Structure 1
Amino acid sequence: MIDPVVLGRRLHDLRTDRGLALSALATRAAVSVSMLSAIERGEKTPTVVVLSRVADGLGLSLSRLLADLESDRVIVRRAAEQDHVAEPGGWHRTVLTPVVPGVNFEWIRTTLPAGCDAGSFPAYAAGSHEFVAVESGTLWLGVGSAEYVLAAGDSVYFPADETHSYANRGHEPCSYHVAALVMRSRLTHPITSS
């Protein structure tokens, strides 16, 4: 398991060795200054996507960034350690997976309240994949120009190199899981939360 304090120190050292201010790395990595600062202080454990962006900003591969930081081959992420993010519009997501060096995989549980549109998400790089499984309620999933209506128990796979969207147009909350294999970070606005 990667100790967040050790990871933070490593990021700080790599950044200062390159003569980069926190704001300069934030710009290069498309990650907010506050997020980078919290990671360097060991207060936040970043997702794989965030770490991949930071590695890109430092001119390193993700595996090189995390080299020698892994102290255990089995990584347990307790419920209390999971990242819970409340999004605008009332939807909520929980990042369930621990950060694993060299593995660009995330498993996220999302809950959309009735009538909530989570919006569109830019495509990942070619070779990225997403699997979605609906736990409860009904999910309207857009992939490119197509839309799929998924009920509780339904699952779907799609190449994540297309714009995709999630919405709950029903009258009950919808909970679903997304398992994403990401080849590299998205090119979007800076991430402000993990």
Structure 2
Amino acid sequence: MSINDTPQIGPVIQRERKARHLTLEQLASRSGVSKSMLSQIERSEANPTFAVLWSLTQALKIDFTDLIAGGVAHRQANPIELVSVAHTPEIKSPEGAWKLRILSPPALAGRMEWYEVEITPRGKLESAPHAPGTFEHLTAWSEGLVVETEQGTQELSSGETARYRADVVHQITNTGTQAARALMVVLYE
């Protein structure tokens, strides 16, 4: 393969799906990728997005880098799934005020999600309302965090958990002079 060739991922996806004795329907259900899109990817007729590839690698329990390289190193099944730091997705604010590390599996997105939150000194994580019935649970791992919604304001000490409606405008502020960290769990109804 030359440097300008794109990786042939369709055959790898198909081989890994069949090695796990999965039908297209079963992989579609596990990954959230439609059966027709999966079929097109396997036949190299579609150019999937990063998000689609990520969902497929998570559903098949293969490393993204192995997929791109065109081959998957077969490992013995492990009853404990391990996600390395390098494979943990992050979301960062454009101005660098906060960072979210996505700790929950992609299959739970939109139902239950959890994040490691880090906010710079005097930084603020502002959020528009989520879907109706959504709640956030924020457990402070350090001092200086303040949760504010249109319904009130609450300071947190290290180890404390704030539970609040997230279907309204809300924000988390670090009033401290050092980076603040927390665990955030988001529950959707």
CA pair 162-80 structure 1, distance change in 2 beyond 3 A:
same
Corresponding position of 1:37: 49
Instruction: Give 1:39's aligned amino acid.
Output: A
C-alpha distance in structure 2 between counterparts of 1:79 and 1:97, whole Å? 13
Question: By how many angstroms is 1:74 displaced?
Answer: 7.4
C-alpha distance in structure 1 between counterparts of 2:135 and 2:115, whole Å? 14
CA pair 9-152 structure 1, distance change in 2 beyond 3 A:
closer
Secondary structure, in 3 states, of the residue corresponding to 1:100? helix
Secondary structure, in 3 states, of the residue corresponding to 2:132? coil
Which deviates more from structure 2 when the two are superposed, residues 150-159 or residues 97-106? 97-106
TM-score, normalising length: structure 1: 0.57
1:58-106 alpha-carbon deviations (Å, 9 max, x no partner):
xxxxxxxx9xx95689765443321122212322110001123687110
Aligned residues with identical type, % of pairs:
18
Q: Is the 1:89–1:118 contact (alpha carbons within 8 Å) kept by the matching residues of 2?
A: no
Instruction: Give 2:117's aligned amino acid.
Output: T
1:94 to 93, 98, 101: 101
C-alpha distance in structure 2 between counterparts of 1:154 and 1:132, whole Å? 8
Instruction: Give 2:123's aligned amino acid.
Output: C
Structure with max Cα Rg: 2
TM-score, normalising length: structure 2: 0.58
1:131 has 2:132 as partner: no
Unaligned stretches of 5+ residues in structure 1: 17-35, 47-65, 184-194
| Equivalences, count | 136
The 5 Å alignment of 1:1-194 reads 7=31, 10=34, 13=37, 37-40=49-52, 42=53, 45=54, 76-90=82-96, 91-100=98-107, 104-119=111-126, 121-183=127-189
Secondary structure, in 3 states, of the residue corresponding to 2:106? coil
Unaligned stretches of 5+ residues in structure 2: 1-12, 14-26, 41-47, 62-78
CA pair 101-171 structure 1, distance change in 2 beyond 3 A:
closer
Q: Is the 1:137–1:173 contact (alpha carbons within 8 Å) kept by the matching residues of 2?
A: no
CA pair 101-117 structure 1, distance change in 2 beyond 3 A:
closer
